[in-house]
Chain A
Amino acid sequence: IVLTQSPATLSLSPGERATLSCRASQSVSSYLGWYQQKPGQAPRLLIYDASKRATGIPARFSGSGSGTDFSLTISSLEPEDFAVYFCLERSAWPTFGQGTKVEIK
């Protein structure tokens, strides 16, 4: 299964809404997670099972979708949210999207 994320880069200002997409080459049901990755830091699990927030994740992060089309929404960007986000699917073996960089406009 191949995961394709779009856009590659999202240029936004703090306070704006960010919507990231992850599309699977075949259905992964709802077995999809979203992660945040910052340089020199451990990746952080944000969303699992497509729409459930992981422990301690702020409510401004939300996930949706099932089957092949998924999205991660950050309702109002905080300065600490500028990072790379990637999706992960759990089928036969885990595969990852190529990432979306959310950068400050």
Chain B
Amino acid sequence: QVQLQESGPGLVKPSETLSLTCTVSGGSINSYYWSWIRQPAGKRLEWIGRIYSSGNTNYNPSLKSRVTMSVDTSRNHFSLKLSSVTAADTALYYCARDGMVGQVHYMDVWGKGTTVTVSS
């Protein structure tokens, strides 16, 4: 079955760029949307944005100015960059497949998440 694995630095300095990659195994990255979601400790999940396998993107308006997503279909992975980070960006970051499960898309496969701390 499809599995997702997040990877990237666990510690990022303030004002720098957070970079994460999600590797898809057990299935193809093609013809799907792929999302990034984060959860600060003790808070609700927040959708960051998604990318289609063709490269089309949708971003959360509240983060749009700082977010860039990309996809590499040859390596079956997609990536997130979040610029100008602050302590407020410290969170558990998840990647997920955004599949057309029912009438609309739902995140139907998730990674286990990776913790990113923003600190000097």
Chain A residue numbers with a CB within 8 Å of B107 are: 33, 43, 45, 88, 94
Q: Which residues of A contact B47 (CB under 8 A)?
A: 93-96
On B, residues with C-beta under 8 Å from A are 4, 35, 43-47, 58, 60-61, 94, 96, 101-113
Nearest B residue (CB) for A52: B102
- Tell me what chain A mostly uses at the interface: helix, strand, loop, or mixed: loop
Interface size on A, residues (CB 8 A): 23
Residue of A42, A45, A48, A99 touching B111 (CB-CB under 8 A):
A42
Task: Take A54-B101, A94-B47, A96-B44 as given contacts and tell me if A42 and B113 are in contact as well, using a CB distance cutoff of 8 Å.
Answer: yes
**Candidates B4, B60, B94, B112; contact of A93 at CB < 8 Å:** B60
Q: Which partner residue on chain A sits nearest B44 by CB separation?
A: A98
**A90 & B105 in contact (Cβ 8 Å cutoff):** yes
When the two chains form their complex, are residues B106 and A42 in contact, meaning their CB atoms are under 8 A apart? Answer: no
Indicate if A85 sits at the interface (CB-CB under 8 A). Answer: no
Q: How far is the CB of B11 from chain A (nearest CB, A)?
A: 20
Q: Which residue of B lies closest to A95 (CB)?
A: B47
Q: Which residues of B contact A52 (CB under 8 A)?
A: 102
With A33-B106, A42-B4 already in contact, the answer to whether A96 and B58 are too (CB < 8 A) is no
A-B contact pairs, 26 of them (CB 8 A): A30-B103, A31-B104, A33-B106, A40-B112, A42-B4, A42-B94, A42-B110, A42-B112, A42-B113, A43-B94, A43-B96, A45-B106, A48-B108, A49-B101, A49-B102, A52-B102, A88-B45, A88-B106, A90-B105, A93-B58, A93-B60, A93-B61, A94-B107, A95-B47, A96-B44, A99-B44
